[in-house]
Structure 1
Amino acid sequence: MARQTACVAVTLSIAAMLQSCVALSATAEAGGIDYPSAWQCDSPKFNWYCAEPPPEQAKDSQAKAKKPLSKEEEALKRLEQWKRDLEAKRALSILEPTPENVKAYIQEQDRLMQTASVYSDVWRRALWQTPDLNYELKRPVTAAGIEVQKQVRKRAEMNTLQALANEWGLFFFFRSDCPYCHRMSATLKLMSDLYGITVFPVSLDGGTLPEYPNARMDNGLAARLNVTQVPTMVLGNVKDKRMIPIGSGVVAIDDMIQRIYVLTQTKPGELY
């Protein structure tokens, strides 16, 4: 009798579960849940709830997965695979240096070198045939081109220096006991005589130099310009009071002219 009662109970339980499944399916069809069946999950879920993504998100993921790779993406993928294959052959030839393994790596390395040679050749052909990409038009590499560029640059520097002489002057900070200041003093005096740019000698110790016996004492200008070393040269505009540091130490006259031209007439990167 007890066995019959247990069988009846099991039968009723199974029937109840079947009724629940039918109800869940009906609810899914009616829009009550966002998945078609409680049995659809791939793994057990809490209270039989699936963790499926919303239909829109699933569609977007499928669309992205089916999107074909671009030519650039495909090339990148192939190149990465080639790198991995080459590294794998290299590693194997090192760890297991059999003739076959070393030969396989050498052959792959030769293929890489040949590809690089072809790429280099096509690169130079593209430069020759595309003037906009030819850097030699800006920075010649031949002796004749370099000489012409120097002449053009020299004329531009001279014209700049002569034009600046009307509104700009060169502040020369020095100390009378500084041997480098004595050397720079002669250079600046020559540049002033040749190109007419005015030099304003500023003494930090109250002394003078042979080229500038009437140098002025520093009145705080050195501190405002953060001058901590001598000799230091600063280009100053007498009209709008702009100040442009030129450099410190002993600088050749050609280098001084070049710095003045670059700092006043060009933008960063323009000459490179």
Structure 2
Amino acid sequence: MKRLLLSSVLLSAIVTAKPDDGYHYSPAVGWHWYNEPAPQQETLEARSSPQKTLSAVETMQKIKALGDELRNAAVLDPKSPEKLARWMAFQNYWSDNASQFSATWQKVLLLKPELDYNNRHSHYNATATLSYANEQKAQASAIKAVNEHYGVFFFYRGKVPLDAKLAQVVREFAQQYQMAVMPISVDGVINPELPNSQKDRGQAAKMQIRYFPALFLVDPSTGSYHPLAYGFISQDDLAKRLLNRVTDFTPRD
């Protein structure tokens, strides 16, 4: 019964038009709408002209419109078992279709393993430690490159608590990785966490820095500089930012 109802639903929406005889209409106009047959005014050429083949997008649009019609018809007439049955058959079709789609997806993963994202980035909990270890290794390499070729400028405001909180993170990060960090106070107030700070002598304005606190990666050999962070950032995220900067934001497999 379900397949019979479904066939009626889909055929009404997408099959080739049949001549109007009071029972068949093209395009479909919904269920339980009665139309008088239109006068037979078509020419012989019009009758024999080939029907346009619908694209996948056009077909889906028609099926969606049909689904909307069936649902609305059932909602507007909740006492009609026939209308609700048609809507249920339509729903069941898509449920079956989704199940088949999922099954075919799994089949394709075996036929074409190069399309399986899990082969490059495993989503299983058992492999999470391996992924984390690989990421840590990549970050360590980036930090090593920073120590060898770059430096970090830390622009902060000595009177602002948020900047003081980030100063703790920067100090601990620099100590852990033996990283060269130049703290620069933009308001002239030196943070006791960073006793080696310098007062800003126009560097922030020259580098067009307008938001603080700010961390910048600086290449002394070329004088180039790139932002690492604005505002507060954790040590873990700072390590990720350094990796992204050193690799120029190259995606990692």
TM-score under structure 2 normalisation?
Answer: 0.72
Task: Give 1:200 deviation, angstroms.
Answer: 0.8
- Name the aligned partner's letter for residue 174 of structure 1: Y
Equivalent residue number for residue 242 of structure 1: 224
Please list, as runs of the form range in 1=range in 2, the aligned pairs for 1:201-220 lying within 5 A after superposition: 201-220=183-202
Q: Are 1:202 and 1:215, in contact at CA under 8 Å, matched by a contact in 2?
A: yes
CA deviation vs aligned residue, 1:140-195 (integer Å, no higher than 9, x gap) = 21112222111011011001101221221110111221222222222222222222
The share of aligned pairs that are identical, in percent, is: 23
Among 177, 185, 189, the residue aligned to 2:171: 189
Report the count of equivalent residues. 204
For residue 107 of structure 2, what is the amino acid of its counterpart?
R
**For 1:48-63, what aligned pairs fall within 5 Å after superposition?**
none
In 2, the alpha carbon distance for the partners of 1:197 and 1:182 equals 19
Distance 1:174 1:146, change over 3 A: same
Residue 239 of structure 2 corresponds to: 257
Match of 2:64 in 1: 83
Closer/same/farther in 2, CA of residues 67 and 103 from structure 1, 3 Å limit: closer
Shift of 1:101: 0.8
- Cα distance change on mapping 1:267 and 1:131 into 2, 3 Å: farther
Secondary structure of 2:204 counterpart: helix
The Cα of 1:254 is off from its aligned counterpart by 1.7
Q: What stretches of structure 1 of length at least 5 have no aligned partner?
A: 1-64
Q: Tell which structure's C-alpha radius of gyration is larger.
A: 1
Separation in 1, partners of 2:142, 2:56? 50
Shift of 1:75: 4.2
Bigger helix fraction: 1
Taking structure 1 as the reference length, the TM-score comes to 0.67
Report how far residue 261 of structure 1 moved.
0.3
How far off its partner does 1:136 sit?
Answer: 1.9
- State whether structure 2 residue 210 is matched by structure 1 residue 221: no
Which structure 2 residues correspond to residues 1-272 of structure 1 after superposition, within 5 A? 69=53, 74-97=55-78, 98-267=80-249, 270-271=251-252
- Between the aligned partners of 1:167 and 1:152, the Cα distance in structure 2 is 23
Q: Which moved more, 1:86-95 or 1:102-111?
A: 86-95
- The residue identity in structure 2 corresponding to 1:140 is S
Change (3 A) 1:102 1:68: closer
Which whole-Å CA distance do the structure 1 matches of 2:232 and 2:57 have between them? 52
Pick 1 or 2: higher relative contact order, CA cutoff 8 A, min separation 6. 2
Contact 1:178 1:230 in 2 (8 A): no
d(CA) in 1 for partners of 2:119 and 2:204? 42
Q: Deviations over 1:101-137 (max 9, x none)?
A: 1111111111111111111221233234422211223
State the distance in 2 between where 1:162 and 1:141 align. 29
The amino acid that maps onto 1:130 is K
Distance in 2, matches of 1:201 and 1:83, equals: 61
Q: Deviations over 1:31-78 (max 9, x none)?
A: xxxxxxxxxxxxxxxxxxxxxxxxxxxxxxxxxx86985xxx554454
Contact 1:169–1:237, Cα closer than 8 Å, also in 2: yes
1:229 deviation in Å?
Answer: 3.2
CA distance in structure 2 between the aligned counterparts of 1:184 and 1:76, rounded to whole angstroms: 52
In 2, are the aligned partners of 1:191 and 1:253 still within 8 Å (CA)?
A: yes
* CA distance in 2 between partners of 1:156 and 1:239 (Å): 24
